[in-house]
Chain A
Amino acid sequence: MLLALALLTAGCAGSKLPPPDMSAARSAIAEADQSGASEAAPLVLRNARQKFEQAERAAENEDYEAARFLADQAQVDAELAEAKARSATAMAAVEELRESIRVLREEINRSRPSSGGQ
Chain B
Amino acid sequence: MHRLAQPLTLFLCLLIAGCGGPPRANPALTDAREAYTTAANDAKIVSNAPVALQEAEEALRRAVSVWEEKEGADKVNHYAYIAHQRVRIAEEKANQRAAEKEIETVRNERQAVVLEARAAEAEAAERRAAAERMRAEAARAEAEAALARANELAAQVNELEAELTKRGLVLTLGDVLFDTGQATLKPGAERTTEALVTFLIENPERNVMIEGFTDSVGSEEMNLGLSQRRADAVRTSLIEQGIAGTRIRTQGYGEAYPVADNGTPAGRQQNRRVEIVISDVDGTIPARTP
* Interface, chain A (partner B; CB < 8 A): 1, 4-5, 8, 69, 72-73, 76-77, 79-80, 83-84, 86-87, 89-91, 93-94, 97-98, 100-101, 104-105, 107-108, 111-113
Q: A104-B117, A111-B123 are in contact. Are A76 and B106 (CB under 8 A)?
A: no
- From A77, which residue of chain B is reached at the shortest CB distance? B85
- From B113, which residue of chain A is reached at the shortest CB distance? A104
- From B96, which residue of chain A is reached at the shortest CB distance? A87
Residue contact A93 to B99, C-beta cutoff 8 Å: yes
CB B228 to nearest CB in A, in angstroms, measures 68
Residues of B contacting A8 in the complex (Cβ-Cβ under 8 angstroms): 12, 15-16
Residue contact B117 to A107, C-beta cutoff 8 Å: yes
Residue contact A94 to B99, C-beta cutoff 8 Å: yes
B-side interface mostly = helix
Q: A83-B89, A111-B121 are in contact. Are A105 and B78 (CB under 8 A)?
A: no
Residue contact B93 to A87, C-beta cutoff 8 Å: yes
- From A76, which residue of chain B is reached at the shortest CB distance? B85
Residue contact A90 to B99, C-beta cutoff 8 Å: yes
How many angstroms from the CA of A93 to the CA of B100 in the assembled complex?
9
Residues of B contacting A111 in the complex (Cβ-Cβ under 8 angstroms): 120-121, 123-124
How many angstroms from the CA of A83 to the CA of B91 in the assembled complex?
9
Residues of A contacting B103 in the complex (Cβ-Cβ under 8 angstroms): 90, 93-94, 97
How many angstroms from the CA of A104 to the CA of B96 in the assembled complex?
26
Residue contact B92 to A83, C-beta cutoff 8 Å: yes
Residues of A contacting B88 in the complex (Cβ-Cβ under 8 angstroms): 80, 83
- From A102, which residue of chain B is reached at the shortest CB distance? B113
Residues of B contacting A86 in the complex (Cβ-Cβ under 8 angstroms): 92-93, 96
CB B197 to nearest CB in A, in angstroms, measures 53
How many angstroms from the CA of A4 to the CA of B81 in the assembled complex?
33
How many angstroms from the CA of A84 to the CA of B81 in the assembled complex?
17
Residue contact A73 to B82, C-beta cutoff 8 Å: yes
- From B84, which residue of chain A is reached at the shortest CB distance? A76
The answer to whether B184 has its CB under 8 Å from any CB of chain A is no
Residue contact B117 to A108, C-beta cutoff 8 Å: yes
How many angstroms from the CA of A36 to the CA of B187 in the assembled complex?
110
The answer to whether B230 has its CB under 8 Å from any CB of chain A is no
How many angstroms from the CA of A92 to the CA of B11 in the assembled complex?
62
A-side interface mostly = helix
- 0/1 per residue, B5-24, Cβ < 8 Å to A? 00010001001100000000
Residue contact A87 to B99, C-beta cutoff 8 Å: yes
The answer to whether B191 has its CB under 8 Å from any CB of chain A is no
How many angstroms from the CA of A22 to the CA of B93 in the assembled complex?
25
Residue contact B82 to A76, C-beta cutoff 8 Å: yes
- From B59, which residue of chain A is reached at the shortest CB distance? A76
Residue contact B8 to A1, C-beta cutoff 8 Å: yes
Interface residues of B in 43-94 (CB under 8 A from A): 78, 81-82, 85-86, 88-89, 92-93
Those 4 A-B pairs whose CB atoms lie nearest each other, nearest first = A90-B99, A83-B92, A87-B96, A87-B95
Q: A80-B85, A84-B92, A108-B120 are in contact. Are A90 and B110 (CB under 8 A)?
A: no
Residues of B contacting A101 in the complex (Cβ-Cβ under 8 angstroms): 106, 109-110, 113
How many angstroms from the CA of A5 to the CA of B14 in the assembled complex?
12
Residue contact A94 to B102, C-beta cutoff 8 Å: yes
Residue contact B85 to A104, C-beta cutoff 8 Å: no
Residue contact B107 to A97, C-beta cutoff 8 Å: yes
Residues of A contacting B100 in the complex (Cβ-Cβ under 8 angstroms): 90
Residues of B contacting A72 in the complex (Cβ-Cβ under 8 angstroms): 78, 82
CB B67 to nearest CB in A, in angstroms, measures 15
The answer to whether B42 has its CB under 8 Å from any CB of chain A is no
